[in-house]
Amino acid sequence: MYLEVKNVKKSYGEGGSFAQVLNGVSVSVNQGDLCVIQGPSGSGKSTLLNCIGGLDLMDSGSIQVDGKEIYGLSQEKLSDYRRENLGFIFQFYNLVPNLTVRENIQVCEYLTDSPLDLEELLDTLGLMEHQNKFPSQLSGGQQQRCAIARALIKNPKLLLCDEPTGALDSATSRDILILLEEVNRKYGTTMLIVTHNNSIKNMVDQVIILKDGMIKQDYRNDKKVLAAELEDL
């Protein structure tokens, strides 16, 4: 198993503001799988993703990625873990406004000794003709493509996506999901996708549903469909 999460607990605040966000979450994900994490607002989806990404420190439990335990790592070691293993895609693209598309991607290219081929990535993501534009000159979908390219250039084993289509219209959302599907197929990247969109679960290998900080459902999707065939995006 590539990702193993065991009895993870995470809380915020104290006294009257105390909130138990994750309450003993255990789940595992196979290498190379597309996995969706769903649940109502406040269910702990993004917190779980952030704990796996080493952005939030869990109170207790265990998270192993490719056999390596991240609980208890120092900030320096967590930084190494993120650089060596992870790519992040968020709802808001977080592009550097005064850098071109190409330069935004190169920022992360320099973080690894074995990056993907930049020209191939630009071509795969349909960014070749936009590579010298600044973020303000791009549509929302093009900015998200740039954010995906920036995350992928490091050739991460695990891609963490927090509402990657949340700010996009339905047609552009479908394009981005087709792109993620192609990346998964081409590079074998394991992906965790947090989303409110109920249709996305139909294109993935595994569906995890959270409620009140606990796993309510965790199942394999035996009727997986192509992203291009998704309805009601």
Every domain of the chain and the residues it spans: 3-94+159-229
39-59 tens-digit pLDDT: 998 899 999 999 999 999 999
Residue given tokens 């959270």 in the structure block? 210
pLDDT at site 228:
92
Beta strand ranges found along 66-174 (DSSP E): 68-69, 86-90, 158-162
CATH class of 3-94+159-229: alpha beta
- Look at residue 230 and tell me whether its pLDDT is greater than 80: yes
pLDDT at site 111:
82
Query: Could you tell me which residue, 15 or 21, shows the higher pLDDT?
Result: 21
Query: What is the C-alpha separation between 187 and 17, in angstroms, rounded?
Result: 43
Q: Which two tokens stand for residue 184?
A: 């998964």
Asked if 20 contacts 9 with a C-beta cutoff of 8 angstroms, the reply is: yes
- Look at residue 15 and tell me whether its pLDDT is greater than 90: no
116-168 tens-digit pLDDT: 899 998 998 889 999 999 999 999 999 989 999 999 898 899 999 999 888 88
Question: Cβ neighbours of residue 216 under 8 Å, at least 6 residues apart?
Answer: 39, 209, 210
**CA-to-CA separations, 205 to 19, 58, 98, 138, in angstroms, rounded:** 32, 26, 38, 32
- Look at residue 115 and tell me whether its pLDDT is greater than 80: yes
23-33 tens-digit pLDDT: 999 999 999 99
Query: What is the C-alpha separation between 138 and 146, in angstroms, rounded?
Result: 10
